[in-house]
Amino acid sequence: MIGKTQLAEMLAGRDHIDDELTKIMDQRTEPWGVSVRSVEIRDVIIPKGLQDAMSREAQAERERKARVILGTAETEIAAKFAEAAKAYENNPVALHLRAMNMLYEGLKEKGALIVVPSTAVETMGLGTITGLASMAKYPSA
């Protein structure tokens, strides 16, 4: 009975195994006039090699779950970015404001340094009087 039982089942369902062992032992000892009233599994000793294997298996399962969670998060992030891209697709002013806000957020960090390619600055109009006027008009953007 014990050899046929999975370790997890044995640890979780000791009462059931106790009952089954009691029945089996009682059937085998009854012809001798011995009646088995109860059997209890009190301690399960797991060999060191099996403990190590179980530990590695549990660690691999935790890593697998972590990767699944990370993959799910990446999928959700990608969907949100695609949604944001659609919002900015036909609205260049909103895209400019978002880009300027990203620059502002990056620069307000203590000791932050952002390298912006000159082509990006030109497309935002930050180097022109119009760009400066936009920044003055939307200082928190």
User: Is residue 17 domain-shared with residue 51, that is, in the same domain?
Assistant: no
User: Is residue 34 domain-shared with residue 50, that is, in the same domain?
Assistant: no
Q: For residue 95, give the nearest of 58, 134, 133 by alpha carbon.
A: 134
User: Is residue 39 domain-shared with residue 56, that is, in the same domain?
Assistant: no
Q: What is the torsional sign of CA 89, 94, 96, 98?
A: negative
For residues 87-108, average pLDDT: 82
pLDDT for 117 beyond 90? no
User: Is residue 95 domain-shared with residue 140, that is, in the same domain?
Assistant: yes
> In terms of residue numbers, what domain contains 95?
91-141
Q: Which residue has the higher pLDDT, 81 or 104?
A: 81
pLDDT for 119 beyond 90? no
Number of domains forming the structure of the chain = 3
What is the pLDDT at residue 51?
Answer: 82
pLDDT for 130 beyond 60? no
User: Comparing 71-85, 100-114, 121-135, which segment has the lowest mean pLDDT?
Assistant: 121-135
DSSP three-state, residue 65:
helix
Structure tokens at 61: 């399962």
Tell me, rounded to whole angstroms, the distance of Cα 88 from its chain centroid: 30
Entry pTM: 0.45
User: Is residue 97 domain-shared with residue 137, that is, in the same domain?
Assistant: yes
Q: What is the mean pLDDT of the chain?
A: 79
Residue 121 confidence class, pLDDT cut points 50, 70, 90: low
